[in-house]
Amino acid sequence: MGSAEPLVSIRDLRVSFVSRDATVHAVNGVDLDLARGEALCILGESGSGKSVTLRAMIRLLPPRRARLSGSVKVAGREVMSMGERALSDLRGGQVSMIFQEPALAFDPVYTVGRQITETIVRHEKVSRADARRRAVELLDLVRIPSPERRLASYPHELSGGMRQRAMIALALSCRPDVLLADEPTTALDASVQIQILLLLRELQRELGMAVIFVTHDVGVAVEIADRIAVMYAGRFVESGPVGTVIKTPSHPYTQGLLASTVHGAMRGQRLEAIPGSPPDLASLPVGCAFAPRCRHRLERCTESYPEESRPAAAHAVRCFLAATSPEPA
């Protein structure tokens, strides 16, 4: 990646949700750099803070309940201090998001074509005729057949896979620098999932976008990512190049995720589940949050949170058992 300034830079991002009964600490000090054209996958169980991290990056969380702190910079601009107008220009313009459920992106009372066209007009200040032409090009780009005709379709008239493709077209409509994808294939069947993943990866490379992709599926991460960040209890416990993390996982949680993943070579073998349950984010333990579920825990795991160690130059791990001396680059 060289010494160029990262396109996205996050430092000590924290998100808490405050209610009358409790304060839930959903994200607990995330640091992240993302280069132009790079694909990062955030991997972890449900409730680990993955989706909250994405939404916090563009301040999509309810301001009355969510407490945000830390720094999020996109192309050197601080998102946390942006006014509403600047934030509105950022969302959909420089940074776009693909949601898990297309219903969150599309208004059911307007046609798909109208919604994509309006987005282009809002951010790019072009004529409606030019915006409509671009909308047709986008539907064609995401492999929707008869794109001209599909512009007149309402969201409910499209199949699940087609709605997902239309949502990708909407997200790409203003040529974003950064694409945030929140488990966009979870609701689809396996064959459509693969098509959408390959399409996303192809578009990401073709358009030179940086992508942050959230999933709990290791297979998805391998398919789409350059780097993986494994998240547990609102923290990154391991991160590095996809090949390194998959082949030589150093954190017991990462090892547990990989061991509990079904693949073709496992026929007839017993699946290893991670014991126990994820921690209560309203009362996190003092030490490592994974310690109660970890077979390798030491006494100090319950007393303090481990510092970052680096088994290799680009491979970071937060675990007392991880190697501390970096390997030669």
pLDDT of residue 102: 67
Contact call for residues 34 and 50 (beta carbons, < 8 A): no
pLDDT of residue 327: 47
Query: Among residues of the chain, what percentage have pLDDT more than 70?
Result: 93
pLDDT digit string, tens, across residues 121-176 = 988 888 999 999 999 999 998 889 999 999 999 999 998 888 888 988 998 888 89
How far, in Å, CA of 267 to CA of 271, rounded? 10
The average confidence (pLDDT) of the chain is 88
- What three-state secondary structure class fits 102? helix
- How many residues does the structure list for the chain? 329
pLDDT of 324 higher than 80:
no
Range name among 38-42, 102-106, 118-122, 182-186 with the lowest pLDDT average: 102-106
How far, in Å, CA of 118 to CA of 92, rounded? 11
pLDDT of residue 41: 95
Angle 301-304-307 (CA atoms, 0-180°, nearest 5)?
Answer: 95
Q: Which residues of 77-91 are buried (b: 16+ CB within 10 A; e: fewer)?
A: eebeebeeeeeeebb
Contact call for residues 52 and 182 (beta carbons, < 8 A): no
CB-neighbour burial class of residue 286 (10 A; exposed 0-12, middle 13-18, buried 19+): exposed
- What three-state secondary structure class fits 30? strand
pLDDT of residue 187: 66
pLDDT digit string, tens, across residues 105-136 = 788 999 999 999 998 998 888 899 999 999 99
How far, in Å, CA of 212 to CA of 251, rounded? 22
pLDDT digit string, tens, across residues 260-306 = 776 555 565 676 788 888 899 999 989 999 999 998 999 999 999 99
How far, in Å, CA of 303 to CA of 299, rounded? 7
Q: How far is CA 166 from the centre of its chain?
A: 19
Between strands 23-34 and 95-98, the pairing is unpaired
pLDDT of residue 326: 47
pLDDT of residue 273: 80
pLDDT of residue 267: 60
- What three-state secondary structure class fits 287? coil
Query: Among residues of the chain, what percentage have pLDDT more than 90?
Result: 59
pLDDT of residue 1: 43
pTM (2 decimals)? 0.87
pLDDT of 22 higher than 80:
yes
pLDDT of residue 105: 76
